[in-house]
Chain A
Amino acid sequence: MQQGWLSNWLVKHEVVHRSLGFDHRGIETLQIKAEDWDSIAVILYVYGYNYLRSQCAYDVAPGGSLASVYHLTRIQYGIDNPEEVCIKVFAQKDNPRIPSVFWIWRSSDFQERESFDMVGISYDNHPRLKRILMPESWIGWPLRKDYITPNFYEIQDAH
Chain B
Amino acid sequence: MSLPLTRKDLMIVNMGPQHPSMHGVLRLIVTLDGEDVIDCEPILGYLHRGMEKIAENRTIIQYLPYVTRWDYLATMFTEAITVNAPEFLENIQIPQRASYIRVIMLELSRIASHLLWLGPFMADLGAQTPFFYIFRERELIYDLFEAATGMRMMHNYFRIGGVAADLPYGWIDKCLDFCDYFLRGVIEYQQLITQNPIFLERVEGVGFISGEEAVNWGLSGPMLRASGIQWDLRKVDLYESYNQFDWKVQWQKEGDSLARYLVRIGEMRESIKIIQQAVEKIPGGPYENLEVRRFKKAKNSEWNDFEYRFLGKKPSPNFELSKQELYARVEAPKGELGIYLVGDDSLFPWRWKIRPPGFINLQILPQLVKKMKLADIMTILGSIDIIMGEVDR
A interface residues with partner B (beta carbon < 8 Å): 23-25, 27, 50-54, 56, 58-59, 69, 71, 75, 77-78, 80-82, 86, 105-111, 114, 118, 131-135, 142-143
Contact = CB atoms under 8 A, between A and B. Distances in A.
Interface string B364-392: 10000000000000000000000000001
Closest 10 CB pairs of A and B: A107-B218, A58-B351, A24-B326, A56-B353, A133-B45, A54-B355, A133-B48, A24-B324, A106-B217, A56-B340
Nearest to A75: B215
Nearest to B235: A80
Given A53-B338, A82-B236, A132 B45 contact: yes
Contacts of B336: 53
A56 B217 contact: no
Contact of A50 (B56, B215, B220): B215
Contact of B327 (A23, A51, A77): A23
A71 B216 contact: no
Nearest to A86: B327
Contacts, number: 97
Contacts of A132: 44-45
Contact of A24 (B48, B325, B338): B325
Given A106-B363, A111-B360, A133 B392 contact: yes
Contacts of B52: 118, 143
Contact of A56 (B56, B212, B351): B351
Interface of B: 44-45, 48, 50, 52-53, 56, 88-89, 212, 215-220, 229-231, 235-236, 324-329, 336, 338, 340, 342, 350-351, 353, 355, 359-360, 362-364, 392-393
A135 B89 CA distance: 34
Nearest to B327: A71
A109 B363 contact: yes
B211 to A, nearest CB: 9
Given A111-B360, A135-B45, A52 B89 contact: no
B326 A53 contact: no
A134 B362 contact: no
A142 B89 CA distance: 26
A69 B339 CA distance: 13
A142 B48 CA distance: 12
Contact of A51 (B218, B328, B350): B218
Contacts of B44: 110, 132-133
A78 B363 CA distance: 27
B340 A133 contact: no
B48 A25 contact: no
Contacts of A105: 216, 218
A71 B52 CA distance: 18
A141 to B, nearest CB: 11
B325 A23 contact: yes
Most buried by A among B231, B350, B353, B392: B353
Contacts of B342: 58
Contacts of B235: 80
11 contacts: A24-B324, A24-B326, A25-B326, A53-B338, A58-B342, A71-B327, A107-B360, A131-B45, A133-B45, A133-B48, A143-B53
